[in-house]
Amino acid sequence: MRIAVTGSTGLIGTALVGSLRSDGHEVVRLVRRPPQAGDEVEWDPERQYVDAAGLVGCEGVVHLAGAGIGERRWNDAYRKKIRDSRVLGTAAVAEALASLAEPPRVLVCGSAIGYYGDTGDRAVDESAPPGDGFLPNMAVEWEEAAAPAQEAGIRTAIARTGLVVAREGGAWGRMFPLFKAGLGGRLGNGRQYWSFISLHDEVAALRHLLDTESLSGPFNLTAPDPVTNREVTAAMGRALHRPTVFAVPAPALRIALGELTGDILTSARVLPTRLLESGFSFAFPGIDEAIGAAVHASV
């Protein structure tokens, strides 16, 4: 099977490409520069350009690209970059696929559980409406940008991903060194829910959406049992055999991280109802299992 992937150098994309290739699939990687290898196709999400000719023959596309949420402090310019990289990039991919004489059978399009906003202690699944604020509003636009692919008859699955547990990237990638040094602790009051998923299960879920012909629409890619930041802190301490006595109060986080603090302190208790109903089985459903898998994974 010939499969195109955007965001192939990111945490999830790197793992997905490796998984697909290990099973014999041909992977085409969309890159934001002139191609330097036979498996590369040029695109520019800001200009909404995709070299559609390079996608001919692809049976599936996984679209994961987007500017990092936590890479820097937010200002108006970076908020625009976060939004445009997702909304314009998705529109470019969807329109390019729709223009093909023989479009792919499936598009798996990335999104995020930021769609739901702050849910507090209330559990939500795919039937819940979007929340309020920058991230939920962006997620709505992000998902709507895939409409040209749907209108062209391409089966489109939306992957609303939670916090990915991995040593080599994302929020957890930043936490591991701190906890290993004995400097880890809860953030704020620690009562906010973190809906997590192991990197292994994230890749497996994306492939499940890619391969299962009956699946379309939104799917929460989160483990079945969300936990609080306080529980995450305790689990990290157990896994790394380190104390977790430190705590970072909310005012200090706001000084250090600015608007990004809201994302860290937001409570998102998100359940993968549709994913479970589709027959997907988690290899690492609990927080201790997910962290253990990350600790023992080869990097």
- Three-class SS state of 26: strand
Alpha-carbon distance values, 117 to 128, 142, 162, 183, 266 (Å): 11, 15, 12, 29, 8
Q: What is the pLDDT of residue 195?
A: 96
pLDDT, tens only, 256-287: 455 555 555 689 999 999 999 999 999 999 99
Model pLDDT, residue 71: 62
| Whole-number pLDDT of residue 261 | 52
The full 3-state SS of 95-153, as one line of letters, equals HHHHHCCCCCCEEEEEEEHHHHCCCCCCEECCCCCCCCCHHHHHHHHHHHCCHHHHHCC
Backbone angles phi, psi at 200, to 5 degrees: -60, -50
8-state DSSP, 242:
-
Q: What is the pLDDT of residue 256?
A: 47
Its pTM stands at: 0.94
The span from the CA of 107 to the CA of 154, in Å, is 7
Question: What single DSSP character describes residue 32?
Answer: S
C-alpha–C-alpha distance, residues 98 and 145, integer Å: 12
pLDDT digits (tens, 9 = 90+) for 191-226: 999 999 999 999 999 999 999 999 999 999 999 999
What residues in the chain have per-residue pLDDT under 50? Answer: 255-256, 299
Q: Which domains does the chain have, with CATH numbers?
A: 2-296 (3.40.50.720)
Q: How far apart are CA 295 and CA 299, in angstroms?
A: 10
Distance CA 28, CA 13 (A): 12
Amino acid code (one letter) for 108: V
